[in-house]
C-alpha cells in the first residue's frame, strides 16, 4: 500500500515561486549546497516544478505562473515569509552564500534562543535564516532569556 504521507514530506514543504527558476536552482546549489532531486520543464523554457534539499530540509520551486497566481517576491515587492534551515556550519554557509550573491541582512550572531544564526536574502527575494543549535533550552529558559533581552 502506498503511504499517503511520503517519508520525505513529513513536515511542511515550502514551495518557492521565483522569477528565474534555472538561475535560482544554480544559486541554491552554489550558495546553500542544495541537492537538486527533480526538475520538470514547462513550455517556453520555464520550470514547472523542481525539488531540492538543503541538508534534510526539502524545498520545491517553480517559475512564476501568473495564470495560477503563483507570483515571486520580485513581483510582489518582497516576501512575508522567512525560511528556516538548521545546518552544521552556519559561518561557512553564510560566507559561501554571500560570495554567491546573497545579501546578508543580519550577520552570524548568537541568539537568545541558543542558536548561532544568520539572516540572508537570496537574489530572488526570499528571506532565509540558517542556524546551528549551540545550547538546548527548555520552554521556561527560552521565556526567561526572551524576557531578559526585552522581547
CA distances from 84 to 40, 58, 100, 107, 129 (A): 25, 11, 19, 15, 5
pLDDT-based confidence at residue 8 (cuts at 50, 70, 90): confident
Indicate the range of 4-8, 81-85, 96-100, 123-127 predicted with least confidence: 4-8
Are 63 and 21 a contacting pair, CB within 8 Å?
A: yes
Confidence of residue 18 (pLDDT cuts 50, 70, 90): very high
> Average pLDDT in the 20-40 region?
98
Is the pLDDT higher at 3 or at 59?
A: 59
Query: CATH: 3.10.180.10, 3.30.1450.10, 3.40.50.2000, 3.40.50.300. Which one for 7-148?
Result: 3.10.180.10
Where along the chain do its domains lie?
Answer: 7-148
Please tell me the predicted confidence (pLDDT) of residue 2.
81
Note the pLDDT of residue 6.
80
Q: Which are the contacts of 29, defined by CB distance < 8 A and separation ≥ 6?
A: 35, 36, 52
The pLDDT of 35-53, averaged and rounded, is: 97
Over the stretch 59-96, which tens digit does the pLDDT of each residue have?
999 999 999 999 999 999 999 999 999 999 999 999 99
Alpha helix stretches (DSSP H) within the chain: 21-32, 73-76, 90-99, 139-148
Q: Of 31, 30, 12, which is closest to residue 104 (Cα–Cα)?
A: 31
- Whether the per-residue pLDDT at 9 is higher than 90: the answer is no
Q: Over the range 40-49, which residues count as b (16 or more CB within 10 Å of their CB) and which as e?
A: eeeeeeebee
In DSSP terms, 47 is beta-bridged to 41
Average pLDDT over residues 3-14: 82
Amino acid at each position: 500500500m502506498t503511504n499517503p504521507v511520503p517519508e520525505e514530506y513529513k513536515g511542511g514543504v515550502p514551495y518557492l515561486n521565483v522569477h528565474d527558476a534555472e538561475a535560482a536552482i544554480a544559486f541554491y546549489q552554489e550558495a546553500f549546497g542544495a541537492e537538486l532531486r527533480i526538475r520538470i520543464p514547462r513550455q517556453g523554457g520555464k520550470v514547472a516544478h523542481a525539488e531540492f534539499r538543503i541538508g534534510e530540509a526539502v524545498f520545491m520551486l517553480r517559475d512564476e505562473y501568473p495564470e495560477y497566481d503563483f507570483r515571486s517576491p520580485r513581483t510582489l515587492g518582497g516576501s512575508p515569509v522567512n525560511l528556516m534551515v538548521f545546518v552544521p556550519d552556519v559561518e561557512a554557509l553564510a560566507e559561501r552564500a554571500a560570495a554567491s550573491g546573497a545579501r546578508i541582512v543580519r550577520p552570524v550572531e548568537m541568539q537568545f534562543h541558543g542558536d548561532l544564526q544568520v539572516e540572508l536574502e537570496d537574489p530572488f527575494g526570499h528571506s532565509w535564516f540558517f542556524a546551528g543549535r549551540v545550547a538546548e533550552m527548555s520552554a521556561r529558559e527560552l521565556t526567561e532569556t526572551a524576557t531578559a533581552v526585552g522581547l
